[in-house]
Amino acid sequence: MVKKKIFTKLLAVLMLIVTILGMMPISVFAKYITEIDDDAKFGVVSGSLSDYGHELHYAKYDSKTYLVFCAQYGETSPGGGTYEYDDEFKVELKEDRKSYKKICEMIYFGYVMKYGTDLPDSTAAKKAACATQQYVWEYIKNNINSDYGAPSRGSWKSTYMSSSIYSDWLEKTQENYDKYHGKGISFDGKTKQIELGETKTYTDKNSVLETYPAFSQRVSGVTFAHEKGSNDLVVTVSENTDATTVKFKSYKYDIYQLLPNGDKFDSTKMSTYLYFHFSKGSIQNLLFSNYVDPESFTFNIGIESGELLLKKTDSNDMPLAGCQFRIFEDEACTEKIATATTDEKGEILFDGLSTGDIYIKEIKAAPGYLLDNTVKKVTITNGETSTVSFKNNEPTGKLLIYKVDSNGAKIGGAQFKVKAAEDIKSASGKTKYYSAGDIVATITSNETTGIATLDNMHLGKYLVYESVAPNRIFIK
């Protein structure tokens, strides 16, 4: 009995959950009309002929109704039924109907921008819809196909359409069109030079940039930033970028001029317009537009930088590898820029350097060589390779031979020969000064001090022997 009650309660709870879920709305994402690939309904807006004096038309697709415009005045209107895609109608996009671009933008600026793509539901919207339809007919007749007719502006019901209503609509719509497609940004398409690590502000003299949204976009180490309502573009170049030229194309980052009403351009819904071509029966073709050709800009940055080629050799002009150098911004060598080590060619190429003066010094010599403490100034020029050379000397020794007699008296005039006991080479081993057995020098002891001296001797092993004794002295 207890089990039965529990089961009954559980069943009741489950039924309640099902009931609640059944009452909750289910989100359904309708397809937009630009995705049309199935059957659709086309017809005349109910009451439009009697209310306006001419028919307005609709297209219904995937439960959504859109206002569309007649493109063939005088032809039969669709009957409001379902038309089969491909068999009874097909869709041509803007690529197929380029001549309709101006019409479709005027549809947007004259109706869609303010009232959307729905059927008109207010007096103002109905006036705009009628004026837009009149414009479509007149433009097609005057600019595309003169075989198509266009009714007089006075043939409409005067409440919604007349010559004065049309003139007012055309003036405001053309004003919005011209405002959006008028002058571009003053530096659009231009190239400006800027140094590494520098920030520069570029001002649009045409006051168009202020109608762009705020953005901050980094491209190859260069940041392009803009605040909404400002005509300034702030460009900052990183000190570490390897780029020499950076092209900023705003459309690549979905950055477009705001529409006259302040809305952002929506590339998912506003990038194309549709021309409905009916292939079965004498049914007039129709136009749908939520289209704007978006305004964007391009700005190129040439980054001013140069290169420095450092060459390091020994005293014999042989290249030295393994020498470490550092470049600085200041002569006191406190603001480090970069550090590098010479390669087998004895070279370092510092690239991507800011233009102007820099300072360089050696901070570590190659093994067996003396450190060069000289600080050298180099001027870096945009687009050029500056060069600087350093030499390293090797440490040398000094030989002193003391000549005395058996009583310790100093003896001058004694001659000595210095011979290499091994191959004597430079510290890098690339230069051989003497082969083993070579006589390096002949030196003579001083008459006063009895000392024979040999300076600047390359490091290595040597043999020394007396070759000529002074008068009255015998060589032992």
Return the number of other C-beta atoms located less than 10 Å from residue 150's C-beta. 18
Which of helix, strand or coil describes residue 164? helix
Strand order in the sheet with 232-237: 199-203, 232-237, 222-226, 215-219
Residues in a beta bridge with 454: 399
Residue 322 lies in a domain: yes
Expressed as residue numbers, the domain containing 78 is 33-183+262-289
For residue 406, is pLDDT > 90? no
Domain assignment present for 18 = no
Is 336 within a domain? Answer: yes
Answer yes or no: is pLDDT of 24 > 70.
no
In a domain, 119, yes or no: yes
pLDDT value for 30 = 64
Q: Residue 103 has which token pair?
A: 């019409």
Residue 325, in any domain of the structure: yes
How many domains does the chain contain in total? 4
Indicate whether 382 and 436 sit together in one domain.
no
| 321 shares a domain with 447 | no
Does residue 2 form part of some domain? no
124: β partners: none
Determine the pLDDT at residue 4: 39
Q: What is the dihedral of CA 340, 344, 346, 347, to 10 degrees?
A: -50
Percent of the chain with pLDDT over 90: 82
Residues 154, 269 within the same domain: yes
Residues 222 and 101 in one domain: no
Q: Which ranges constitute the DSSP H helices of 108-211? A: 113-115, 123-139, 163-181
Q: Distance of alpha carbon 57 from its chain centroid, rounded?
A: 46
Residue count (the chain): 476
Residue 239: its pLDDT value, please?
A: 87
My answer on whether 195 and 316 are in the same domain is no
Q: Which residues contact 473 (CB under 8 A, 6 or more apart)?
A: 405, 411, 414
Residues 120 and 146 in one domain: yes
pLDDT digits (tens, 9 = 90+) for 279-308: 887 899 999 999 999 999 999 999 988 999
476 belongs to a structural domain:
no
pLDDT in tens, 354-383: 889 999 999 999 999 999 999 999 999 988
Query: Is 21 inside any structural domain?
Result: no
Compute φ and ψ for 125, nearest 5 degrees. -65, -40
* 275 shares a domain with 225: no
Q: What is the pLDDT of residues 110-130, one digit of tens each?
A: 999 999 999 999 999 999 999
Statement to judge: residues 145 and 210 lie in one domain? no
One domain, residues 97 and 38: yes
**pLDDT, tens digit, for every residue of 191-248?**
999 998 999 999 999 999 999 999 999 999 999 999 999 999 999 999 888 888 999 9
352 with 458, same domain?
no
Asked whether residue 249 falls in the same domain as residue 379, the answer is no
Do 407 and 341 fall into the same domain? no
Residue that has been written with the tokens 């403490």 in this structure: 373
pTM of the model: 0.69
Query: Looking at residue 354, which CATH number applies to its domain?
Result: 2.60.40.10
